[in-house]
Amino acid sequence: MKKGKVLVAMSGGVDSSVALLKILELGYKAVGVTMKLWEYDDVGGNILSDTNCCSIESVTKAKMVCDQMGIPHYTLDFTDIFKKDVVNNFIEEYLSGRTPNPCVRCNSHLKWDALLEQAKKLNADYISTGHYARIELVNGEYFLKKGVDPKKDQSYVLWGISENTLEKTIFPLGGLTKSEVRAIAKKHNLESANTPESQDICFVPDNNYSRFLNDTIPKEMKNIQGGDIIENEKVVGTHSGYTNYTIGQRKGLGLSNPEPRYVRKINSTENTIEVGKKDSLFSNLCKVTEVNWLVNHPELPRNAEVHIRYNSPGAEAEISGSLTEVLVTFAEPQLAITPGQSAVFYDGDIVLGGGVIV
């Protein structure tokens, strides 16, 4: 890979800061870009600090790190497209009774395309982020691989990026652990060295999805009334609104049973929540649509390790069907397969592709 200019996505956190440092150490020229995705004053919730992604403090830290390293920094406004492609989809999925993963959609439908477009405008050859993943070139083909730190591997949320963007993407942190990244930041006295980890969805920084939905779409949420909780086709209780529940949820059902009950199905059309004992949540099948492949000419059916949620162990399965819609058949039944979440296919450390569970 020839040395050239790299556009580095800067969130103001420690990961993107060290990614920038590593890009410069590798001999590339660099320019830092912070993508403003939402208006911090508009997200609502009881936020006690201004350290979340897209906050004024985070943007300032990104700029200070770039100044420290002597490179230019730009803040670009993507609030309109982020709301259209990510936030609105998040809302629509919850209204449909599904549990979306907006980070996957943000990477797939916004970040990579937007970053590559900005790279062209700034005459940059590559883009780089602080994701814990790797890209390797083998026999002329680029592969997306897991990061070496199993606790931080983020390849799961990257299945939706286009295969042809891999050769233009650099992940400098893929071979490092989180503790190593923190140590590097402290060693170089980076402004973001002690920035706390952000675990929540960026536009719901208080992690209160119900509050966010009620604030954002009050009319629609007002129309979602309580309904029946059903077990074995019998009404066993009432729920407060189907958007307040997710597959596998146990607490907050208001049911009294010797053995706990769990949410096993959400029916937005009928306004019902179906519950059952834990063993009723296991299934060995799931349908996956919007499939994106990151390897050339995948042949189906084929076996793979399939992950059905972020940071969960994978399970052996057979993938069959077409290239855009597949049926995943697990060797062993899996717990709480959740519509709206991603199913990501692996061959060892290599990401084959993924899609959305329906």
Please give the positions annotated as active site: 106, 202
Check whether the bond before 301 is cis (ω within 30° of 0): yes
The structure tokens listed for 186 are 């402290």
Question: In angstroms, rounded to a whole number, what is the distance separating the alpha carbons of residues 202 and 55?
Answer: 10
Please give the single-letter amino acid code of residue 288.
V
Residue 103 CB partners (closer than 8 Å, separation 6+): 157, 201
What radius of gyration do the chain's Cα atoms show? 22
Order of all β-strands in the sheet with 234-239: 234-239, 227-231, 272-276, 262-267
8 A C-beta contact, residue 115 and residue 127: yes
Size (the chain), residues? 358
Question: 56 with 50: CB under 8 angstroms?
Answer: yes
Element (DSSP H or E) covering residue 186: helix 178-187
Six token digits for residue 218: 């009050």
- Tokens (6 digits) for 205: 């920084």
Mapped onto helix, strand or coil, the DSSP state of residue 4 is coil
Rounded to an integer, what is the distance from CA 215 to the centroid of its chain?
23
Contacts of residue 233, defined as CB under 8 A and 6 or more positions apart, other chains included, come to none
